[in-house]
Amino acid sequence: MRVPRRLHDVHLLTLDLATALLIAVVYVGFTRMSGDGVQPGYSGPAWAGLLVAAAVGLPVAVRRPWPVPAAVTALAGSSAAAFLDITREPWIAVGLTLYVVALTVPPRRSVPVLAVSLTLAAGAVLTGEAVVTPAETWSGAVGVAAMVWLVLGGGWAAGFAVRTRRAREADRAAHRAERALVEERLRIARELHDIVSHSLSLIVVKAGVAGHVARRRPEEAEDALRVIEQTGRAAMTEMRRALGVLRAEAPLAPAPGVDALPLLADQARRAGVTVDLTVRIPDESLSAGISLAVHRIVQESLTNTVKHAAPTHCRVTVEADPRTVRIDVTDDGVRGGGLMPPGGHGLIGMRERATMYGGTFSAGPRPEGGFAVSARLPLDGTRRNE
């Protein structure tokens, strides 16, 4: 389960506060430790020890909102602790703050912070261990400084590595978003192709009828012009909806689906194609994507029939069982002549829609004449990102 961002931040801040208090308490304990032959003890006033302990530990609590000030404060506190013989650990608080500096601050600022931290840490350790209260030889002090450098550099390197990984993930996410946008635009382009080709086919057929019978049978010409007007209005409405998606202005109307198949059949009938439509969907289990794919495949098939075979007879069958939806569209071809098989982008678009959902598609002339389109779409298939 994904944790909400606010709760995640509160959790991290709480963890930082607990860590800060723990480090401060540990340093208070360091101030009360007596010296031995290896490490001298703190001999200053109690209030100064408490102040140093707070300066070392408490910046960890605010390292996320104020990373650089927290690192500077922890560095100053740790340096003071080294001079006063309080430190008995390798500057973990400074390493924790440098982790967040590298994670959240651009490298042009975090690298100088690291360089200053390493320089001051080395100077404080060498001075405190080998000069102020010589508890180590110079070689031993260098070894202690190297250990502190390892903690500070390791903290910064870990933060920088996480920052780099997150930047790569952000780049990949931006690339995926851009790719999704391109795919959506291609999908809309296919929708526009289906809308325009279907509507223009009906308009061209009816315009031809109107021109042919305008003088002899003006009433038929009026009927044809009425169909042209209705088809044109419907096409404009669908195009506005599709283009509105590109402009992100128009409200999204429901995409057409299986319920709109009777309207497609009526439009084809007005263009001179006798359509027998059979739809057997046992329930409303079709997803919106599958339903739209069925609609577009039937629409493109009827468009090709109107273009290349009208007037003719066409059978459209859409059936679904719990696993598959089947689409079959067959026509009898051109009356009194050979069939002109559909071509162009229509068949490609139908095949792409079927393949997108893991289905199969076939189309071609029938042995007895005419043309057949057949598609099978699995209901449990997932949409493929091409």
Nearest of 32, 13, 81, 18 to residue 53 by alpha carbon: 81
Question: What is the C-alpha to C-alpha distance for residues 279 and 263, in angstroms, rounded to an integer?
Answer: 13
Q: d(Cα 201, Cα 342) in Å, to the nearest integer?
A: 12
* 152: nearest Cα among 91, 68, 82: 91
Domain map (residue ranges) of the chain: 5-175, 256-386
Q: Looking at the predicted structure, is the pLDDT value of residue 386 above 50?
A: no
- For the entire predicted model, the pTM comes to 0.53
Question: Which residue bears the tokens 């949409």?
Answer: 383
Question: Could you tell me the two tokens for 117?
Answer: 């931290």
Q: Which of 96-105, 118-127, 177-186 has the lowest mean pLDDT?
A: 177-186
Q: What contacts 259, CB < 8 A, 6 or more positions away?
A: 291
- Within 8 A by CB and 6+ apart from 266, the residues are none
pLDDT tens, position by position, 250-291: 444 566 788 889 988 888 888 778 999 999 887 566 777 788
Whether the per-residue pLDDT at 327 is higher than 90: the answer is yes
Tell me how far apart the alpha carbons of residues 328 and 371 are, in angstroms, rounded to a whole number: 11
Whether residue 321 is predicted with pLDDT greater than 70 in this model: the reply is yes
The hierarchical CATH code for the domain 256-386 is: 3.30.565.10
> What is residue 340's predicted lDDT score, i.e. its pLDDT?
46
| Euclidean distance between CA atoms 356 and 7, whole angstroms | 39
What pLDDT is recorded for position 251? 47
Distance of CA 310 to the CA centre of its chain: 45
Where does the pLDDT of residue 344 fall: very low under 50, low under 70, confident under 90, or very high at 90 and above?
A: low
Please state, in angstroms and rounded to a whole number, the distance separating the CA atoms of residues 39 and 347: 85
Residue 335, pLDDT score: 56
Sorting pLDDT into bands at 50, 70 and 90, what band is 338?
Answer: very low
Rounded Cα–Cα distance for residues 50 and 42 (Å): 12
Across all residues in the chain, what is the average pLDDT? 80
Residue 206: predicted pLDDT: 67
**Statement: residue 2 has pLDDT above 50:** no
At residue 249, the pLDDT reads 47
Distance of CA 277 to the CA centre of its chain: 40
Say if residue 309's pLDDT is above 60.
yes
Of 351, 357, 360, nearest to 379 (Cα)? 357
CB-based burial, 145-165: b 16+ in 10 Å, e otherwise: beebbebbbebbeebbeebee
For residue range 169-190, list pLDDT tens digits in order.
Answer: 888 888 887 787 677 667 666 6
pLDDT category at 41 given cuts 50, 70, 90 is confident
**From CA 348, how far away is CA 357, in angstroms rounded?**
15
Tell me how far apart the 2 most distant CA atoms of the chain are, in Å: 123
Write out the chain in H/E/C secondary structure. CCCCHHHHHHHHHHHHHHHHHHHHHHHHHHHCCCCCCCCCCCCCCHHHHHHHHHHHHHHHHHCCCCHHHHHHHHHHHHHHHHHCCCCCCCCHHHHHHHHHHHHHCCHHHHHHHHHHHHHHHHHHHHHHHHHHCCCCCHHHHHHHHHHHHHHHHHHHHHHHHHHHHHHHHHHHHHHHHHHHHHHHHHHHHHHHHHHHHHHHHHHHHHHHHHHHHCCCCHHHHHHHHHHHHHHHHHHHHHHHHHHHHHHCCCCCCCCCCHHHHHHHHHHHHHCCEEEEEEEECCCCCCCHHHHHHHHHHHHHHHHHHHHHCCCEEEEEEEEECCCEEEEEEEECCCCCCCCCCCCCHHHHHHHHHHHHCCCEEEEEECCCCCEEEEEEEECCCCCCCC
pLDDT of residue 328: 94
Residue 339's pLDDT is what? 44
Tell me the per-residue pLDDT of 127-153, one tens digit each, with 9 for 90 and over.
877 766 666 677 777 888 899 999 999
pLDDT value, residue 69: 94
